[in-house]
Every structure is written in structure tokens, then in C-alpha cells.
Structure 1
């Protein structure tokens, strides 16, 4: 069964992009296929897609040997557009209406699971933080963000983009920018460039309790990143806490490695 061009699907469902939903659609089939290939072989894998929009990325995933695709969408217009693919999916597609931030992806799909998504700009970081806390339950994540956000995910200590997100990512996944996507590739073009990030969970994960404490420490440290740590961490013990774990109280947040943040979290 031949599929209509994505622009026809968009017109048929009145799927003009909405800024409130952070929507920017990719319509180039070759580019969408490249993004899916970043995930590697998908045979036997259950793929989760968040925010399918008109279904372009969904089509590219269906073209692989993925066992099943679960597409989660909050926009009723996009739900209708993506649901058109049910007729050609051979039972491999399930469209879920709802907010991905309020859905436990582990409860609606079986392992092995991979997330492949062009995330909405206004909620992508919040989704990623949640999934990093659940990293052990995913085989991989292939996610598109604004390029600056992608840089924040993989940033190393001492670099301008290093912060709370980079610490959390470093402790839970092996991350890399797999490809850049120019603004002109989207409809409508956003004001910024984008990037596809490939995240592979570490075999051994920190406990949820430890990640929570790391979050507490990094929130305080990076919340006042211009201060020395003895000042930014004053509410958590300041110099006494730092001296207990052998970290110079006059250092600043961006100089600490993820492992040093773990030491501070363990000492709380």
C-alpha cells in the first residue's frame, strides 16, 4: 500500500505546528532513515517513539525489523495522522494518546526497549532526566534535541556546557552526538540547529537513592556555579563536607568530575 506524502498527511489533518507543543516536523525520508540507523539493528527490539507528529519517523522505524513500535502522542491531530499507519503496520504499531512525561514507558512495552524520538523542544530535557533515572530498563536511546542541549548532555568537566545534566548522563549512559541536523531540514525551520544523541546505558547503574542525592548536590553546586563550593554547598555542610571527601573547598562546580559528585553524595 503506497503512503501519501507527509505534506499531504499534514494538510489532511490540519497539522500546522504548534509552538506550545514544541513541534518541528522532519519530512525528508532519507534523513529520517539515517536517524533510525543510529540505533543499530532493531530486529527483535520494541521501539518507543515520543511525539511522532505526522508519522515520518514512525514510517522509518516500520521499515526496519523492529518487533513492535509504540508511538506516544499528546496532540489529537498527530494521533489521527500516525494512526493512518496502522493499516500498513501489520500489527506492529500501537499509538498511545497521552503525555510521555506522565507515562511509565516500562509499563507499556516489553524489553528489550529502545527509545527513538524527535523530542519536543519544550519538554525534551525533562523527559531525558526521567529516562536517565530508569536507564537500566532501556537498551539504548536515540534522541533529537536542540544542539545546545545535546552539548550539555555530553559535556566534560571544565567545559562551558558542563552542568547537572552532564553529570547525570555520565553516571548512567555512554553518550555521543551521532549527527547534526540543520534547521532547514525542519518544517517550519527552528531558530537553532539540532543534533541526534546516542545514549547507551552503562551495564552497572547507580542506585535510585544515590542518583537522588547526586541531584541534590549538583542542584546546589551548579545553582551558584560562580561561587566556590564551600559557599554553594553551605546548606549541605560546606567546607566540612568537602574536607571529609578530600575535595578542595575553593574549587568550583564545573571542575568536579562525576565521580567526585558521587563521593559528595555518598557523604551526605
Structure 2
């Protein structure tokens, strides 16, 4: 169904799935199961226009979303770290597994080997949303993810706003991100203490070309000192950025740029700073 339009499904009842699984969500384990049928039915439609031939789902839980993904995808790989739930998924979806349309991977999504998926649609575990997205975004595949609303707002934040940070720059480096829906706590069992939101990330190449690892390291470094000017942040974070000659980078940078703070820089300005760090920041570049 590459690039196809996703149809609404008459999916398994999420409350019935919870009952058959014999589990209750545990907030201490970051378990909040999405039980709103309308939201579950809409989630696959957020992937309209994406290649859904092989969908990756992280945090499959009792399979309410997995069931609906099987209606729109040729193949689904579902990752679940809770062994009880992984066993339940294998039993509940035995036919789909036997036909080769579903693969259940038991393990931590931050460490298991990921397949070559074409899109990811997930209700992400909120406690590790950022780590998961930092792992998924570099794959440059479309994403639809349910996350905390505050987290979603940080993903789409503009430079200079209170929400703008490392996540905003990283997400904006890899994709165009938009909030497509908000979900009240009552849509989950048990209800979380916060509102949630669905984010759609459409990958695209940035307007600049930089060494990616160096760019991301610099962004990560200067945001650890977001209250300081770039001049001081560059000097103080060499253990993160890998810049060996920070004074040379400071001397080469524009004074107006150095007076800004990390939260005021657009991704393209971080790219320009990365170019300076590449040209002036390495000992290997020093002329003998």
C-alpha cells in the first residue's frame, strides 16, 4: 500500500483487549493504554500519503493500534518490552504472525535492532519519547507518534519561544513536524496526568549541508548551557561538541551570532556554526 490512502477500520475493542490480556496500565511503568476507539481509528489515517508497506510500531501494548495497522499496512513490526504483553500479542495475533504480516519483537525499543521500516506509527512510551525519536528521526522515515502535548509543542516550536530546544532543532533538521490532534487524559487507561498530542513528521532534507554528527553534537552541547551566550557555551562544552580549538571558532564567528543564546538560533544558524567549528575547531586543521 505504498503511498496509498488508509481506510478507517472496525478494529478490536481496546477495553476487550485489556480484559483478555488481564493487565491494567501501570503509571510507574509508563503504561497508559490508548482506549479511545475514535482516536485509534484515526491514527492510521494520519499516515495518508506515506508508504505504509512496512509499519514499525513501538510500545504495542495489548495491540489495539496494531490491529488497525494491520488493516492499512502490508507488514507490521511491533516492539513491546513487557514480556506478558509480548506473549499476549503473539497469542492474540497468531494468524497475522503465521501469515508473515506481523512480527512481534520483545525488547527495549532503545536497544533492539530495528527493521528497514517504511513508516512508524506508535503510541510512544512517554518517559523515553525523546530517546526513541532521536533514534528514529535519523532513519528519515515518516512518523506518526502520540506523545505528551508539552513534548509535541517542543517538537514544533520556533526559535525564540520558551518551548524551543534541542528537540526542536533536531526534529526540524530531519522533518517537517506538525501537531494533528490533541487527546485528553480520558482517552487512556489509566489516564495520565497530562494531555497528549499526535505529531506527524514528514522527512525532508534540510536547506543546508553539514557533517551530521558534528551538527547534532554541537546542538546537544550548547543547549546544555542555554542560558549562556554562544560565546561562552562554545567554550564550556568542548567535551560534548568535540571542538578542540574553541577560541579559534569564537574568533571566526560573527559577533552578532556569538551574543545570542542557543534558544534563539534557527537550525540554519546552527549549521553555519557547525561549518565554522569544522573549519577552525580541529587541531588537525592547524597549518604547520
Identify the TM-score tier after normalising by the shorter chain.
Answer: 0.7 to 0.9
CA gap 1:37/1:123 in 2 versus in 1, 3 angstroms: same
Give the C-alpha shift of residue 70 in structure 1.
0.8
Q: Which residue of 1 aligns with 2:128?
A: 123
Corresponding residue for residue 54 of structure 1: 62
Root mean square deviation, CA, Å:
2.4
Correspondence 1:85-124 to 2 at 5 A: 85-87=93-95, 90-105=99-114, 108-109=115-116, 113-124=118-129
Distance 1:9 1:47 in 2: 21
Change (3 A) 1:251 1:6: closer
Q: Distance in 1 between matches of 2:171 and 2:255?
A: 22
In our comparison, the structure showing a higher alpha carbon Rg is 2
Partners of 1:158 and 1:255 within 8 A in 2:
yes
Decide whether the 8 Å contact of 1:150 with 1:195 is kept in 2: yes
Correspondent of 1:68 among 71, 75, 86:
75
| 1:154–1:176 contact (8 Å) kept in structure 2 | yes
Structure 2: gaps of 5 or more residues: 1-9, 239-244, 278-288
Partner SS, residue 7 of structure 1: helix
Q: Which structure 1 segments of 5+ residues have no match?
A: none
2:196 is aligned to 194
- Equivalents in 2 of 1:202, 1:3: separation in Å? 32
User: Are residues 238 and 158 of structure 1, via their aligned partners in 2, closer, same or farther at CA, if it must alter by over 3 Å?
Assistant: farther
State the shift of 1:141 in Å. Answer: 0.5
Matched, 1:8 2:16: yes
1:217 aligns with 218
Tell me if the contact between 1:117 and 1:143 (Cα under 8 Å) persists in the aligned partners. Answer: yes
Matched position secondary structure for 2:127: coil
1:266 pairs with 2:271: no
Query: Are residues 1:132 and 2:137 paired?
Result: yes
In the aligned structure 1, how far is the partner of 2:246 from the partner of 2:227? 15
* Structure 2 residue matching 1:168: 3-state secondary structure: helix
Relative to structure 1, the CA distance from residue 252 to residue 3 in structure 2 (aligned partners, 3 Å threshold; closer, same or farther) is closer
The Cα offsets for residues 101-143 of structure 1, whole Å up to 9 and x where unpaired, read as 11232xx34x5x10000000111110101112222xx2x1001
Hey, what does 2:144 align to over in structure 1?
142
Total equivalences in the alignment:
258
SS in 2 for 1:176: strand
Cα deviation, residue 203, structure 1? 4.2
Name the CA distance, whole Å, in 1 between partners of 2:49 and 2:273: 39
Q: TM-score, normalised by structure 2?
A: 0.81
1:167 to 169, 193, 203: 169
